[in-house]
Structure 1
Amino acid sequence: MRSFISRMVRRSAVVLGVGSLMVVTACSGQTGPGASSTAASPTAGTAADGCVTDYAAGRDYFPDKSEVKYAKNFSLTYHDSYQVVTVEQPAPGQPGEKYVFYRCGTPVPELTGDLAGAQAVSVPIKSLFSGSTTHLPLLDELGQLSVLKGVTDGTYVTNPEVRRMIAEKQVIQYASNQAADSEVVISSRPDVVLTEGTDDPAYPVIRQAGIAVVANSEWLEQDPLGRAEWIKFVGALTGQEAQATKVFDQIELDYQNVAAKAKEAGAPVTVLPGQMYQGNWWMPAGDLYVANLIADANGTYGWSDVRQNSSLMLSLEDVLAKSRDADVWIMTEDVKTLEDVAKSDPRYAEFKAFQQGNVWSNNAKVTPEGGNDYWERGVTRPDLVLADMVKILHPDALPDREFEFYRQVTR
């Protein structure tokens, strides 16, 4: 398991096969602060916690069904007592995986055909180990932080409640040296280990011990709303399809409203995204996540017309040649002052945005340990990220907006 900080570095730069059958049983009546419900709306023969008390074949135990509209990397299909969740790419270069989430108290479905060997998980779950800080706001928005029992490394967590839970040993840390400790996980027996969308040698061992390892690879989505829509994936685990849909629908509406205001604000503003990293400038191609945010904020940049699914590896000279006169520079680096920027590379002072003091970084909310709320909550709340970007590019479009994630880098 990669550490949380490696997750952040990978996002800045780039902005396992199915195991044997495993059955995990759990019923949860727990809720966290702000939850509107503990599980799906109960049906006949179903308790309030989502567990079936009087199973009847042919009855629909998923009255609230999620519809995936933007995400491309996962899908949900419903059957009477279970749902099939497909993750097309659990990690880069890895084959797709299918999971069967069946309602607690119903029989384990017969897994044959393309479901043979799929992991079967009883839902709603009551305990989860999280492989990434990006999972935490999903649980928080659903009011389900109480199911969180483990994080890989709490150093970079920004959520105050989760930080408290870690400090009070309610949530353990299960990774050291950037890898999951299978012994710690197995001895803790969580219902599910939710991956961060990368591979880890410990996962097969954990699966063989009867613990479900389920991939959350939202970072491979290039549509900002597609990443946020993974709240429906987590809602399927916690039995909160209705709440997940309600939360996402509001995020979608707010995002679209902000994008509409940006479009009405006038001509697109030229943007310089990113900075040098290990000798290269990783510039997002025009189809990637950052490019979509810039476009929706009514901005443009020198490589917005490049159509490919990976970032461009450029030299600083390449970037200066094409974006020297960009109006706004939006960085993803924890810099405090323009002097800090110039110290990292004196050539940065050649950019017009630097000279005019129009440099911004996504480090408005950073913990003393280095956790950044942008990398945690920003994935679930693209509406807030977009509003920040619109405020930067078109200040008059959102005159009363206060920044959530970005701050201006000053002298």
Structure 2
Amino acid sequence: MHLRYSTSLAALLALLNAGAMAATNTTVSTAGLQSTQCVASTASNDLYPTKSKVKYATGFSIAYHNTYKVLENRSTNNTYVLYQCGSTKPSVKNVSAFIPVPVNSSAAWATTAAIFLEALGVQNTVKNLGTAPSLVSACLQELLKDVIEPFNDSNSTDTDHQEQKNDVVFNMPGGQDTNTTNTVYSTEYLESSALGRSEWIKFFGAFFNAEERANKVFDSVDTNYQCFSTKAEKEYNDIRPVIAWTSYAGPTQYNNNTAYWQVSFANYKYDIVRDAGARMLNTTGKQSTMFSSSQAFLRALREVDIVIDESFVSYNYSTLLKNYGIADPKQANYSWVATGRVFRPDRIQSTSGGLGWFEAPVAFADALLQDLIGVAHPRFVKDGYKHIWFRNLAKSDPVTVVTASNCTDMYASRTNPAGSCSLIDFQSANPSDSDYSDVEQSRTHDLIYDVSKSEVINDDSSKQSAAAHLAGSTLAASLVAGALSMLALL
């Protein structure tokens, strides 16, 4: 996920120049769409019999009227009125944008927004996408060859012109977008639960009158998620390993040449770790705890069983240990080192290093939960679990590179990568397994680590330094795709 970037940062991205969009004769299904035609200005009947109701998400709301909808982004205090094309524009005060629906042309700056559109099967409306090289979706890559035009954000005039051609432009707050008449902010990354993030498909669906599709996709995700959570609680309540989400930022000009180490405990991570039959490492610092030394950082990881590294750099296991301050792993008294349970969510990548972690996991919470259960309990299925996004760095798991050649139907709805929970026979945790040999049993609460104020850096300037470090990292082209959203979650 990312904003419309400055020229200097855009240079790092090396956006593809796809040229003019090519016309296509592909017939796209209208199944699951309602009110696809414009109406007379006198229309007054209920045009939206199929409605979306928000169940988990707290960042947006939808209110339906006969010929229009009022969509509110509660995180940004923006209100959008979506009125049926042809009908009279409703009289609503304090509106950020009036947008006729269903929209025929759309654009997205964030990778997550693009994936929601693909999950809805409305990518035939997408005319422009941001950070094109970072997209991992095979079919969006295929469309970017000659159908979808990448945003040219190295030239603000060109970008403005591109945006103005669309009925709606999905962006993130804080960007440099000046075309407010068709800009819509999406903030799914601020949701406090994984299901809340996935429910934003209903937000996007409203612009295409695709409520039926959005409800169907989300209901399937919700049902599957609840099944995974229930089974994990039943099988693993007595053996819950401790998971820490960590990262390292080396000294650069962007952080005053001062390295820092970080433990993340965003709310959605709390929920999904618990639902996966594991425990979360918490600290008594602020939402994101940045440590000023590797020694302090490692003290916090003393009783951790599994580390999930989210550093904005790419490296092998030996480099991670070095960056974390572990000179000799054989002498290190850490369960996660002894058992080799160090993961990174970078298994799926684009050829330029873009991470699939910033795409489908947001839309498909059930697949994310399934994958995290596989991290916490690797033998939860009889034949062993094959991860979707997580890669065991200690075991040198390979990276899977997705290219346009992997696309079979570029206009098909994005397939949920989760397995059907009802068909999976969970294997109970066995304390004698080597995977659990160092796990403290019969503990269900999160692990709390009381940090010393002298050990941490948690002021606003450090977060700004983290953002600057990200912008200058060697993987900027791939990681900018989720940088700001990740910082908001850390």
Scaled by the length of structure 2, the TM-score of the pair is 0.68
Question: Which AA in structure 2 matches 1:191?
Answer: D
- Higher relative contact order (CA closer than 8 Å, sequence separation 6+): 2
Structural mapping, 1:361-400, within 5 Å: 361-399=344-382
How has the CA–CA distance of structure 1 residues 248 and 32 changed in structure 2, closer, same or farther, with 3 Å as cutoff? farther
Greater CA drift, 367-376 or 289-298: 289-298
Q: 2:289 aligns with which of 312, 319, 323?
A: 312
What are the equivalent positions in structure 2 for 1:9-20 lying under 5 Å apart?
none
Q: Say whether residues 1:352 and 2:339 are aligned partners.
A: no
Note the C-alpha offset of 1:299.
Answer: 1.3
1:189 aligns with 2:189: no
Matches within 5 A, 1:11-410: 37=31, 39-40=33-34, 42=35, 50-54=36-40, 56-90=42-76, 96-111=77-92, 115-168=93-146, 170-176=148-154, 181-187=156-162, 189-195=165-171, 197-201=172-176, 203=177, 205-207=178-180, 211-266=181-236, 267-278=239-250, 279-285=259-265, 288-303=267-282, 310-315=287-292, 316-333=294-311, 335=314, 337-347=316-326, 349=329, 350=332, 351-399=334-382, 401-409=385-393, 410=395
Displacement after TM superposition at 1:120 (Å): 0.5
Give the Cα–Cα distance (whole angstroms) in 1 for the partners of residues 261 and 188 of structure 2.
Answer: 24
Gaps of 5+ in 1: 7-29, 43-49, 91-95
The separation in 2 between residues aligned to 1:32 and 1:272, in whole angstroms, is 47
Partners of 2:229 and 2:105 in 1: how far apart? 37
Letter in 2 for 1:260: T
Q: Is contact 1:269-1:327 (8 Å) kept? A: yes
Query: 1:127 and 1:52, CA in 2 relative to 1: closer, same or farther beyond 3 A?
Result: closer
Could you say if the C-alpha distance between residues 55 and 330 of structure 1 is closer, same or farther in structure 2, counting changes exceeding 3 Å? same
RMSD: 2.6
* Other structure's SS at 2:52 match: coil
Q: In structure 1, how many angstroms separate the alpha carbons of the residues matched to 2:320 and 2:55?
A: 40
TM-superposed deviation, 1:397: 2.8
Q: Matched residues in 2 for 1:123 and 1:277: separation?
A: 44
Whether the 8 Å contact between 1:32 and 1:145 is mirrored in structure 2 is no
- CA deviation digits over 1:135-158, x for unaligned, max 9? 122111111111111112212011
Gap change, CA 1:276 and 1:336, over 3 Å in 2: closer
Aligned length: 358
Q: Residue type matched to 1:252 in 2?
A: D
Counterpart-to-counterpart distance in 2, 1:182 and 1:303: 46
Q: Which residue of 1 aligns with 2:464?
A: none
1:342–1:66 distance in 2 versus 1, CA, 3 Å: same
**1:17 matched to which residue of 2?**
none
Q: Match of 2:86, SS? A: coil
Q: 1:191 to 1:268 in 2, by over 3 A?
A: same
Assess, with a 3 A threshold, how the Cα gap between structure 1 residues 239 and 358 changes in structure 2: closer, same or farther. same
Secondary structure of 1:302's counterpart equals strand
Question: Residue by residue, what CA displacement relative to the aligned partner does 1:354-403 show, whole Å, maximum 9, x if unpaired?
Answer: 23211111111112201111111111112111111101112333345431
1:284 alignment partner AA: S
Task: Indicate the SS of the match to 1:303.
Answer: strand
Any unmatched runs of 5+ in structure 2? 10-24, 251-258, 397-490
| Partner secondary structure for residue 275 of structure 1 | strand
Q: Evaluate the alpha carbon distance shift between residue 32 and residue 407 of structure 1 in structure 2; reply closer, same or farther with a 3 A threshold.
A: farther
Q: Kindly, what percent of the aligned residue pairs are identical? A: 24
CA 312–31 in structure 1, closer or farther in 2 if over 3 Å, else same: farther
Q: Residues 328 and 353 of structure 1 are in contact (CA less than 8 Å); yes or no, is this contact kept in structure 2?
A: yes
Q: Which residue does 2:488 correspond to in 1?
A: none
* 1:160-181: CA deviation from partner (whole Å, max 9, x where unpaired): 11112222253232323xxx83
